[in-house]
Chains A and B, each alone.
Chain A
């Protein structure tokens, strides 16, 4: 137990703060995110990550948002276990056809108002896989997308920026008919 405490103390706080804004705009971005989230979501934004056919590269970087260096939770953003608890769907992958119905159902299960972020090149435009017998080709072909974050995979910083973009451009959208109903 002593080793554990000693290591924790020795490690200290590694979460990154503003050093040189030009080189590392994470903190600044985060602060902006926090203010925007406060306005729209009273300090809390629940994200439901949905892998709709990614190669799992995007998932690795989404995971990184939770590490103590990015620590996305300090901005009031957290990952929810169910779409019913989510404000935002963070969708990755070119939407494999085998996941199409599942993604639609997740979208339908998410309460209004809701936003969809397409994360990664595959989700944005099909990426390396594109449209085929096995893939729908991009997320917006299945559910309406509010923000697209390109990258293969997008870095944690880009993911944070994308969330900022969403919050800035947030408009109350509640058009379930946009998504093709099952």
Chain B
């Protein structure tokens, strides 16, 4: 049997005189390294083709912890270093991993940790709502802050400029023409061709990490459920799983299965809505009408069975809030059959449509190499040969007992992303059929245990958009001292800047929709 990458990485670190004191958060190894070695450690991980997953920091008494999560083949390693408050800097990992760039800027804006030689010194989440040299996540910064009467717009963000004959700029947003979230896109174009796109996000920064501090587990679950409304189940699950780890709470197996059912239902609902919307972005109303009808018919029973149309607050610490009875299982199984039949009619109709083919094939190409370089996850990654699915590669209940077939496409264009999602609907229908027919008996909620002070939890959950990372640390008295959630959008957004290159400006909406990043999940 071949050596795991973790062992190879550990040997590589040792042979480079990088000491890494090992401990763990549940089953994720945690390696404490020297801050001066921070960049070198990333370099060595890159040599082993590990993926940079997430980064976040945390203020302690008179120092700061900086974390970077790496993964390969479903094996995660959490690197941690401690930096003294008087000398709050460390070498950047974003020179090695592009994915670390925005995350490091996020950490700098909110905590004031300085990553030397970070190639990008522009603020990211910070617009004008707080002052330079103020850091909202620091303990001495009050939640209320010192806001101005009217927060001025962030006018001076230094976008990359392109000059030359016939080059022009298109600023879009933050308020967009459709019913979508706010963000700014700056295009440079020649004629209709996009030369460059730069995103400027952070408009919906709501201070979620700060709001989490001192919350009880129940209240944190409610907050996590509102990180990104379309992923309410997945985010709540990730936060609850992290808290349950920290508190050593084992949830009943029925609760885990019900969470799985809710999560797969959420996946289907979002895929249905988005496939229709992508087709609508190229003027194909048939698909939009059919899929939005299916989505509505899919959401309605959730009000009865899960207490909410979007299943918000269904997942609670220790389990779930509603049980479903045998009748509801039967009804849901029947609905799966109906959905399957409907799709068997609709999918061939859109598959054979030449006008869709014209617009979706080859549009918005993301090469497997770029996808890997950016550490892109979820259906965006899987449409560009990135064969990763947390449910299969680092399985958690209930998926550890189920057969997960990850859907993979290689073409990397908008059509591929649509097809991955179509196939994922079919895969989820299968999973739901298994889960509904084998739902174990028992309780739906475990009793909560107060975790020890400083207890940590780290959860990876595969939401419909891809891998969600959730980290918590508890304070005394069952209160949260640090919460960080990395929505898959954080690593997928940068890929959009590459996806649109050499496409025409009017194809931007369909390219954007095919990726469908969450602004709220990214901005926190």
**A and B form one complex:** yes
Binds B, one of A1-9, A32-40, A163-171: A1-9
Binds A, one of B32-40, B85-93, B149-157, B423-431: B149-157
**Is the Cβ of B207 less than 8 Å from the Cβ of A54?**
no
In the assembled complex, the CB of A66 is this many whole angstroms from the nearest CB of chain B, namely 7
Give the one of B136, B146, B208, B292 with max A CB within 10 A. B292
**Is the Cβ of B207 less than 8 Å from the Cβ of A133?**
yes
Number of interface residues of B (CB under 8 A): 66
**Is the Cβ of B129 less than 8 Å from the Cβ of A82?**
no
- Asked if B398 lies at the interface with its beta carbon under 8 angstroms from chain A, I say no
* B residues near A101, Cβ cutoff 8 Å: 150-153
* A residues near B345, Cβ cutoff 8 Å: 3, 6-7, 10
**Is the Cβ of B150 less than 8 Å from the Cβ of A60?**
no
**Is the Cβ of B144 less than 8 Å from the Cβ of A131?**
yes
Measured CA separation A67–B295 after assembly (Å): 9
**Is the Cβ of A51 less than 8 Å from the Cβ of B207?**
no
| B219 (CB) vs chain A CBs: closest residue | A128
Contact A55/B520 with A64-B292, A102-B153 known, Cβ cut-off 8 Å: yes
Q: How many A-B residue pairs have CB under 8 A?
A: 180
Measured CA separation A59–B273 after assembly (Å): 12
Number of interface residues of A (CB under 8 A): 60
**Is the Cβ of B149 less than 8 Å from the Cβ of A81?**
no
**Is the Cβ of B309 less than 8 Å from the Cβ of A102?**
no
Measured CA separation A32–B160 after assembly (Å): 52
**Is the Cβ of B295 less than 8 Å from the Cβ of A55?**
no
**Is the Cβ of B150 less than 8 Å from the Cβ of A180?**
yes
**Is the Cβ of B175 less than 8 Å from the Cβ of A50?**
yes
| B519 (CB) vs chain A CBs: closest residue | A56
- Asked if B449 lies at the interface with its beta carbon under 8 angstroms from chain A, I say no
Measured CA separation A11–B343 after assembly (Å): 12
Measured CA separation A59–B348 after assembly (Å): 29
Q: Which of A8, A67, A102 makes the CB contact (< 8 A) with B296?
A: A67
Q: Which of A1, A11, A96, A153 makes the CB contact (< 8 A) with B205?
A: A96
| A181 (CB) vs chain B CBs: closest residue | B150
- Asked if A62 lies at the interface with its beta carbon under 8 angstroms from chain B, I say yes
Contact A81/B177 with A8-B286, A96-B205 known, Cβ cut-off 8 Å: yes
Within B283-338, which residues are at the interface with A (CB < 8 Å)? Answer: 286, 289-290, 292-293, 295-297, 299, 309-310, 312
Apart from the given pairs A67-B292, A98-B205, A133-B143, 5 other A-B contacts in the complex at a CB distance below 8 Å: A102-B174, A129-B206, A133-B147, A133-B207, A180-B149
Q: Shortest 7 CB-CB distances between A and B: which pairs?
A: A133-B145, A57-B229, A134-B207, A67-B292, A97-B129, A81-B177, A3-B349
